[in-house]
Every structure is written in C-alpha cells, then in structure tokens.
Amino acid sequence: MTRYMTKLLSLVTLSLVSLNVFAQGRILTTLETNPDARTAAMGNALLGNTDKMHIYNNPSALLFSTQKFGVDLSTEIYPQGGQGRLMQYTLGTAYKFHPDHAVFFGMRYLGGLTIDVSTLPQSGKTYRPYDLTVDFGYGFLVTPEFSVYGSGTYVRSDIGAKTDALTFSFGLGYQRAIELNGHSSLLTVGARLLDAGTPVQYNKTGIFQSLPTSVVVGGDWGINLADDHDLTYALGVRYFTPKEAKEVIAGTGLEYTFAKMISVRGGYEYAQLAGSKLTGGLGIRCKGFTLDVAYRHSLKAVTGVNTFMVGLGFGI
C-alpha cells in the first residue's frame, strides 16, 4: 500500500472513529446496524416476532405469520460533525409466494460524510466514504413451528480506498403459542450466523481484514393481558467473531401495545467495547401501515454516539 493511501485511510478512519463507527476495529459498519426502528427501541434485541424488516431482523417471523407481503423503509440519523452527518438508509421487502416459502430483498446505504484530504498529495480533493449493500434471502417452514432461512449480501465499500465483499447468513427459527393462566401468548426464538465470508483488502493491497461476522441468539415473548392490552418482552445476544475485534453485545426491552395500534417501547443495550445505550421509542399502526421511531442514548460520556431512527412500513 502506498504511503499516500496509508495516510488517506488513516484520515478517513480517524473521522469515522470520531463518530464511534470504526471504534471497535471492524470494517463494513452497515452490516452491523439494525435498521428496524421497533427493535432498535427495545435494546436492539433481534430474532423475535416481527412484521417488518424481515431480512435484517427475523425472516422466520414472516413464515410463521399470515402476512404475505411487506415493504419497509428506515433511516438512522447520526450527530452532525465537522465532516457532515452520517446517515443510514434501508429498504427491506418480503414476499411469501407459498404458505411455506418466502423470498426477501433489501438494500442499505451508509454515508453522508465529506472528508477533506487537501493536506495530502492531490491537494483539494475530497472523499465521501460510504457502504452499500444488496441483500437477497429465502426461507421455508420445516414444520408449522420450525423454519430455516439463508441470505446473501453484496457489499461495496469506499472509504477513500475501495473493496467489494460477498457474505452469507443462515438462521433457524422456532415459534409456539402458549396458554398462560387464561392468557394467550406467543414465544418466538431463533439463532443466526450473520455475514460470514472471506477477508477483504481495500484497493487489493495491504493486509486482509476480516468481515464483521457475528452469531446472534434471541427472541421475544408476547402476551395478551386483556382485549386491548399486549406486552412483549425481548432479549438477544450478539457475538462478533473477528479475532482482532471480538465483542459481545446484549439487548433487552419491553413493548406495551394498546388496541393493537399504539406502542410504547424501552430497553437497554449492553456493548462490551462500544459503550452501552438506553433505548426507547413509539409505534403507530393503522390499516397495514406502520410508523416507528427510536432513540438510542449512549452511556459512554466522551466517545458515545446518540442516534435517532424513523421507520415506515406497509404489510398485508
């Protein structure tokens, strides 16, 4: 790798670290984010029962439900900084073409910063780092209570130097209805390997860097308290496997829903390296349309980053 490229990557990485984006030493940050505003507000606990962002949250949930189609959009907003404001935009779609089979598609874009490298050669040049992913998935029911699914992702990353990556994911889901003291409840659990693949190089030079491969175990338990009152408890653990950047992240949260229309959510996310967060949010549902907002407040005083997320969805 040339001396100029080394300086450029150091400058871009320093700018991203200032936003706690590369602070844990892992690349391709967009692969780590949860674009579902509902579960982001519940401690970022994944693999529970959901009707949105299936490909990124839990594909099994669509297979277990009566829902046939869903399309979702979300954006996560980072703080304004000296190089601009980092934003992530996500599209997720799901289609069940058979009672036991479904396909999934999604796209993610993380960008918004402008890095001035005028102090280096090629004076006056600027870079706009970004990550872009295209995701495809397929899942099927093995039994009415058990499902399997897989997905593949193409990643394009440009942080002043470029790289492309292919990753794959695989997961299992289980769901069971339980009667509890006269109250109906639904238990959903799962396990998923995320973003496995071979290491990559930026500009095909320098050292190989591991993908942010992780293993997730989680789920939720929803119970109908009364005709218009529902409560859901979510819990999840995620372990990042790269040997140079191992980390455990765990989240837990609650959701209270009134009349299956208005939801209030809160949670706590523990992060071994990145810093823990308090999370909260609201949701509204009407005639198949959903609006969700989430706020994640970092408990890390100096390098912590607070983010705000908005999600829109439609499902039938």
Q: Residue with structure tokens 């390296």? A: 273
pTM listed for this prediction:
0.91
Q: Give CA–CA dist 145/160, Å, rounded.
A: 47
Q: Classify residue 24 as left (phi > 0), alpha (psi -120 to 50) or beta.
A: alpha
Q: What is the predicted pLDDT for the residue at 35?
A: 98
Express each pLDDT in 68-96 by its tens digit: 999 999 999 999 988 899 999 999 999 99
Q: What is the DSSP letter of 268?
A: E
Rounded Cα distance between 59 and 47, Å, is: 8
Closest CA to 87 of 310, 239, 290: 310
pLDDT tens, residue order, the chain (316 aa): 455 445 455 555 545 544 455 546 789 999 999 999 999 999 999 999 999 999 999 999 999 999 999 999 999 999 998 889 999 999 999 999 999 999 999 999 999 999 877 655 555 678 899 999 999 999 999 999 999 999 999 999 998 889 999 999 999 999 999 998 889 999 999 999 999 999 999 988 878 999 999 999 999 999 999 999 999 999 999 999 998 889 999 999 999 999 999 999 999 999 998 889 999 999 999 999 999 999 999 998 777 889 999 999 999 9
Burial letters 197-222, b for 16+ CB under 10 A, else e: beebebeeeeeebbbbbbebbbbbbb
Fold of 3-315: Porin (2.40.160)
Asked if 219 and 21 count as a contact pair (C-beta separation under 8 A), the reply is no
